[in-house]
Chain A
Amino acid sequence: MIAYLIRRIFYALPILIGVNLLTFALFFVVNTPDDMARMQLGIKRVTPEAIEKWKEQRGYDKPLLLNSAASGTDKMTETIFWQKSASMFVFDFGYADDGRNISREIAARMGPSLAIALPTFLIGLIAYVSFALLMTLFRGTALDIAGVALCVVLMSISGLFYIIGGQFLVSKLWHWVPISGYGEGADALRFVLLPVLIGVVSGIGSSSRWYRTIFLEERSRDYVRTARAKGLSELRVLFTHVLKNAMIPILTGVVVVIPLLFMGSLLTESFFGIPGLGSYTIDAINAQDFSVVRAMVFLGSVLYIAGLILTDISYTLVDPRVRLS
């Protein structure tokens, strides 16, 4: 197990390097360091000297990938790519273009992101599984058909409409929760309620349908038929056998997203003014703040790989036949 983990982490390195190279390439094809300086320095009274000074201070005055002026290993290391990438692998993200420390910012923003994403995930999981179970229980009846139809309709609606509609009804018409913003401590609860509710509702369609398929598949297996033949009630069959065995595909499908919960949700956070990592990412895209974008890409990749490893581990936990080698 330990050996397996070490090997997986070792495998992750080339992937992270690839990710890093790709973001670097994509970004600097678009933007020259001069562009970044101009973006940051604003529109009024910007002189070429100011731009040079800005680049020099942030270390953007070096060549991008290869420094032909330097000698030896400096050819590689005295470049923007090396200088900005190397520290990333020890999770030192440096400073954003506006001079703030990125690691601190990420640490501060993770909380609000999790406060939205975690409840959405957990409540969502419970709600979707219960709804799917309900549909399975009433398989073939009007309830099942109506449920599936509802799912299809719900998943055909753009996520934007859920947010716009939810904000309009709940906050504006009914005055239930603040329209946007975020609070500290227990106060945060009021701000989190609506985004979580919307997050759960917008996922009902596709997820419940997926779980329903899994349950139905499980229900058609032989052991279920045997159990039913033994005279167990439908309800008991469903909960003790179907649910338990369906947990394997559900868990393994779900575990991979858990680490990504840290990244927050782009849309929800920016609509509700929640100071999380999702809105940080959007802001960075709009401001073309390279340092932040690549820090977020790096973090996202690390978390994704962590999710893959977690999935492997969860396989061994739910299914003893699987061994990690």
Chain B
Amino acid sequence: MSFIPVILWSDALVFLLLAAGIIAARYIRRHEHLRLPWRRVAQSGVAMVSLLVLALFTTIGLLDTLHFRTALPQSSSGEKIYSPEVLSVLDKGLEPLRTQTEKTYSAPFALQLYARESVTDEAGQIVREFPRLQYGGAHLADESQRTADVLQRGLIGALGGLIAGVLLVWLLRARLQLRSLRVAVPAVTMLIGMVASLAAVYHVLGTDKVGQDVLYLSLKSIRTGLIIGTVTTLVTLPLALFLGVAAGYFRGWVDDVIQYIYTVLSSIPSVLLIAAAVLMMQVTIDTHPDWFETSAARADLRLVALCFILGLTSWTGLCRLLRGEALKLRELEYIQAAQAFGVSSLRILTRHIMPNVMHIVLIALVMDFSALVLAEAVLSYVGVGVDPSMISFGTMINAARLEMGREPMVWWALAAAFGFMLILVLAANLFADAVRDAFDPRLNRS
């Protein structure tokens, strides 16, 4: 099957971030004084396990970032025509989960729909009953076999995962010195194995209102969350860094102007500012439908724009922090000396001031990540979040909120969003803590 790779805007930004990350990592490896704090991070068991979890999430997100369009099978005229549907490698990998949709709600591991339906039975009578699912557990004859089957499949999957995990640890034994990691890796692979083996025949986390697999939705949400958390920093970072440092270093009218800008921005209640900007962006997108070849491209641009807007409204805090730091730094003797020697301001800024505030930037970035992931859910509630057709934690929670009122309650979609979000944000928070501890010279490490 032939296909054409598609690079959406957000994909490009993710690749850019990835490249920047790799370059930064190589630079740090070559400089001992920069490596030192990272060593401290690497020695922390909690941090490394969080990193493992984050890496797992990032892998899923990256797989979901490799987009392509498949060619349509029948093209009468010689030229190749591609389907307007944009898929990702993750979609391909989860093909069964994506395409095996039921009619409506079904509980985790259920064999039947969650709602009764009128069915005509053999005698021609109309009866109300729970119809069997089209895919979930379709290989079983009836309910009684389920427990044994779930146990068996789960066990096999877990065993497979465990073996793979242990093998992995053994192969990397030289690198994996931490005991916590040696336990965590097999545990994670075991879980993956178990879920994979079960998800092949069941809806492990149930299905939503239109019968989509909740596990699939949750996995797809990861990319949205990660992008909001990372791409936003692409905007925040240069703005905050340059403006903050410039304001602190030059003082005078530069400082006045920059202070004015960020006071104006930060004095507007942020939800209102974001709402206004998002509405504006939406209008622009709506009035130019010809910009987008596919609906995925439109939803994607909206996501990117949301990141930019979040970035534009959230750089002020970091900027203020950096300004303060720069004010302090410029009074230091070696900078005074550099000035006396006539070193250009730009050089002083890039060579002396910026490297010395990098730890603040880093800490702020890792701390902001989780806040941004959480913010997405709230913004979607207010109606200014991601495109409604985009799968994200916010849209999942929003849809699931109404399901709480049903009885019997439809809890699984909410629980899945809660669980995945908690794991992601928790890992990010724990990792951020470790980074802060390692980099912040003020903290006493007793």
Which residues from chain A contact B268 at a C-beta distance below 8 Å? Answer: 19, 22-23, 297, 300-301
Asked if A27 CB lies within 8 Å of chain B CBs, one says yes
- Contact, CB under 8 Å: A161 / B426: no
Stretch from A85-93, A149-157, A229-237, A247-255 at the B interface: A149-157
Select which of B276, B404, B430 is within 8 A of A164 by beta carbon: B404
Whose C-beta in chain A lies nearest to the C-beta of B383? A286
Q: State whether the Cβ of B3 lies closer than 8 Å to any Cβ in chain A.
A: no
A207 adjacent to chain B (CB < 8 Å): no
Which listed residue (B264, B283, B443) contacts A19, Cβ 8 A?
Answer: B264
List of B residues within 8 angstroms of A18 by Cβ: 260, 264
Given A27-B276, A293-B276, A297-B272: A304 and B267 within 8 A (CB)?
yes
B370 in the interface (beta carbon within 8 A): yes
Residues of A within 8 A of B425 (CB): 156-157
Interface centre among B263, B283, B370 (most CB of A within 10 A): B263
Q: Is the CB–CB distance between B264 and A30 below 8 Å? A: no
Chain A residues bordering chain B, tally (CB within 8 A): 40
The answer for the CA separation of A282 and B274 in the assembled complex, in Å, is: 12
B378 engages A160 (CB within 8 Å)? yes
Cβ-defined partner of B397 (8 Å) among A30, A158, A282: A158
Q: How many residues of B contact A (CB 8 A)?
A: 41
Can you list, as one digit per residue, whether each of B418-446 has a CB less than 8 Å from chain A (1) or not (0)? 10011001100110010000000011101
Residue of A nearest to B421 (CB): A158
The answer to whether A217 has its CB under 8 Å from any CB of chain B is yes
Residues 116-164 of A contacting B (Cβ, < 8 Å): 152-153, 155-161, 164
Between A156, A213, A216, A304, the greatest number of chain B beta carbons within 10 A of the residue's beta carbon is seen for A156
**B397: which A residues are within 8 A, CB to CB?**
158, 160-161
Residue of A nearest to B430 (CB): A152
Please tell me if the beta carbons of B280 and A26 are within 8 angstroms of each other in the complex. yes
Closest to A299 in B: B269
- Pick the contact of A14 from B260, B283, B414 — CB < 8 Å? B260
- Chain A residues touching B, majority SS: helix
Closest to A148 in B: B433
Q: Which residues of B contact A30 (CB under 8 A)?
A: 276, 279-280, 283
For the complex, what is the distance from the CA of A164 to the CA of B401, rounded to whole Å? 7
State how many angstroms separate the Cβ of B17 from the closest Cβ of chain A.
23
Instruction: Find out whether the CB atom of A157 lies under 8 angstroms from the CB atom of B266.
Output: no
Distance (Å) between the CB of A263 and the closest chain B CB? 6
The answer, yes or no, to whether A226 is at the interface (CB within 8 Å) is: no
What 0/1 pattern do residues 243 to 282 of B give for CB contact below 8 A with A? 0000000000000000010011011110111011101100
Per-residue 0/1 for B341-377: is the Cβ within 8 Å of any A Cβ (1 yes, 0 no)?
Answer: 0000000000000000000000000000010001001
Contact yes or no, A15 B429, CB < 8 A: no
Does chain B have a CB within 8 A of A223?
A: no
Which of A19, A159, A281, A282 meets B374, CB within 8 Å?
Answer: A159
Residue ranges of B at the interface with A (Cβ–Cβ < 8 Å): 260, 263-264, 266-269, 271-273, 275-277, 279-280, 283, 370, 374, 377-378, 381-384, 393, 397, 401, 404, 414, 418, 421-422, 425-426, 429-430, 433, 442-444, 446
17 sample A-B contacts, Cβ–Cβ < 8 Å, listed by A number: A29-B283, A30-B276, A152-B426, A152-B430, A156-B425, A159-B374, A160-B378, A161-B418, A164-B414, A168-B404, A217-B443, A281-B272, A285-B382, A285-B383, A301-B267, A304-B266, A304-B267
